[in-house]
């Protein structure tokens, strides 16, 4: 008889301001057992952010030490600050058969896809989703409404978004963003479908 399914590593990427952080927060609030990996960064905390909850805030020297030690599954420099996903945190959760959620940028997604080709546990678990805004105008409105960045930073984010959106073909799923509720429904549907894949089912001997 079929047994429990193998875990899913659900990777969600989007341009800056594309809505992936909100979708990820709602997934964690509504999907039992879904585990979030906390990203490391060298940028300072924004108002309301907590160390170890929103990010692991690291000094540049400590971040570089971990890079040299091979501690990151992926790492990148984004708008002058460094970000990285700890390899051990992901693999430990997968070994414990827990579904894992990753919120990364397009560059990070590419790095993880490349690494997964050589790491069987990652390759078996990885499912990639690209969340894209309806248009660059919509994205510009979101970034302006968010009010976290200076106008020149917003302009750089929009320029980068043009290049990031062109990478959608490298993902398993494309989710055009509409409303938060609909974005969440679509991504949850993807996760549920992936959990039902026959390739993930553990079959007992003679089953």
Between β-strands 2-5 and 201-203, what pairing exists: parallel, antiparallel or unpaired?
antiparallel
* Chain segment 29-49, per-residue pLDDT in tens: 999 999 999 999 999 999 999
Token output for 13: 């990427």
Q: What is this structure's pTM? A: 0.84
Domains and CATH numbers, the chain: 2-196 (3.40.50.300)
List, in sequence order, every residue forming a beta bridge with 174; answer none if it has no partner.
130
In this predicted structure, the answer to whether residue 206 has a pLDDT above a threshold of 90 is: no
* Chain segment 108-160, per-residue pLDDT in tens: 999 999 999 999 999 999 999 999 886 666 666 766 666 666 776 667 777 67
Give the chain as a DSSP string: -EEEEPP-EEEEE-STTSSHHHHHHHHHHHSTT-EEPPPEESSPPPTT--BTTTBEE--HHHHHHHHHTT-EEEEEEETTEEEEEEHHHHHHHHHTT--EEEE--HHHHHHHHHHHTT-HHHHHHEEEEEEE-S-HHHHHHHHHHH--S-HHHHHHHHHHHHHHHTTGGGSSEEEE---HHHHHHHHHHHHHHHHT-GGGEEE-TT-
pLDDT of residue 135: 66
- Please state, in angstroms and rounded to a whole number, the distance separating the CA atoms of residues 145 and 147: 5
In this predicted structure, the answer to whether residue 205 has a pLDDT above a threshold of 70 is: no
In this predicted structure, the answer to whether residue 23 has a pLDDT above a threshold of 90 is: yes
Q: Which residue has the tokens 């579904």?
A: 99
pLDDT of residue 193: 96
pLDDT of residue 142: 67
């Amino acid at each position: 008889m079929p047994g429990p399914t193998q875990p899913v590593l659900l990777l969600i990427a989007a341009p800056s301001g594309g809505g992936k952080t909100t979708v990820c927060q709602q997934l964690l609030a509504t999907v039992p057992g879904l585990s979030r990996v906390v990203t490391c960064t060298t940028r300072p905390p924004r108002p309301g952010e907590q160390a170890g909850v929103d990010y692991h805030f690291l000094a540049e020297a400590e971040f570089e030490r971990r890079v040299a030690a091979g501690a990151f599954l992926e790492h990148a420099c984004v708008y002058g600050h460094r970000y990285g996903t700890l390899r051990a945190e992901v693999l430990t959760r997968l070994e414990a058969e827990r579904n894992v959620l990753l919120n990364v940028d397009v560059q990070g997604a590419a790095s993880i896809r490349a690494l997964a080709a050589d790491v069987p546990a990652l390759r078996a678990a990885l499912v990639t989703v690209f969340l894209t805004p309806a248009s660059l105008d919509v994205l510009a409105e979101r970034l302006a409404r968010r009010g976290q960045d200076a106008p020149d930073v917003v302009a750089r984010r929009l320029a980068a978004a043009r290049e990031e959106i062109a990478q959608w073909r490298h993902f398993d799923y494309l989710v055009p963003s509409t409303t938060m509720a609909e974005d969440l429904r679509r991504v949850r549907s993807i996760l549920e479908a992936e959990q039902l894949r026959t390739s993930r089912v553990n079959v007992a001997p003679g089953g």
